[in-house]
Amino acid sequence: MTGDDNPILARLNQEILTCTLCRLSEGRTRAVPGEGPVPSRILLLGEAPGKREDELGRPFVGRAGSILEELLSSIGLSRREVYITSINKCRPPKNRDPKDDEIAACHPYLERQIDLLKPQVIVPMGRFAAREICRSFGLDEGKISDIHGKILHARAGFGAVIVLPVYHPAVVTHNPNLRPELTADFQQLKKALDRM
């Protein structure tokens, strides 16, 4: 079942598409609720849509999306097998970092998505997504450089969840030296899935 087939998620997506809870709604072309199977074993969580995502209304379709697809392929997965969204559903102007009040405005949407998707593994990509998920589940926060690739155990209303923070795929466009660490992060995801 995809998000389009699930009436509850379809209603939630419609709320996101018409949301005006924060200033980001004023400059967006399209909100980006997310996409993937429902329920979903794996939830990949970015920070906010970029220019291309804002134009198309789909998550991770730009350069970072190509890198993400390569990383998923390296562990035997395709993007059709995972649910992909972001902590912010609208693009910040000029791709600036999301602000705390913007993240807070979107947080209830993320909580509802997690409850509907019932993921076994949540992969926050990048420092903002990692911080938000760690806070949500009462996990120790740390710098992404310290916690990436580490398996953290959490509990949701529907059961146990593994949280595996990773570097954001876009990091390698600015710092190619981090590619081996990002690849290793996704190998950790494979190991976690193999043990389930």
pLDDT > 80? residue 187: yes
Distance of CA 113 to the CA centre of its chain: 11
| 89 backbone φψ class: left, alpha, beta (φ>0; ψ -120 to 50) | alpha
Range ranked top by mean pLDDT from 5-9, 18-22, 60-64:
18-22
Is a pLDDT exceeding 90 seen at residue 19?
A: yes
Residue 55 corresponds to which tokens in the numbers above?
Answer: 């134009």
The structure tokens listed for 115 are 């409850």
Is the pLDDT at 6 greater than 90? The verdict is no
Pairing relationship of beta strands 152-156 and 159-163 according to DSSP bridges: antiparallel
**What range does the domain containing 64 cover?**
3-194
- Tally of domains in the chain: 1
Q: What is the pTM of this model?
A: 0.95
Cα separation, 139 vs 170, in Å, equals 25
- Distance, in Å, from the CA atom of 100 to the CA atom of 105, rounded to the nearest integer, reads 9
Confidence of residue 1 (pLDDT cuts 50, 70, 90): very low
Mean pLDDT lowest among 1-10, 74-83, 97-106, 183-192:
1-10
* CATH code for the domain of 112: 3.40.470.10
Would you say residue 37 has pLDDT above 80? Answer: yes
Whether the predicted pLDDT of 17 surpasses 60: yes
**pLDDT exceeds 60 at position 3:** no
Residues of the chain above pLDDT 90, percent: 90
pLDDT at 2 (0 to 100):
52
The counts of H helices and E strands in the chain are 9, 5
Res 95 pLDDT > 50: yes
- Per-residue pLDDT tens for 127-174? 999 999 999 999 988 899 999 999 999 999 999 999 999 999 999 988
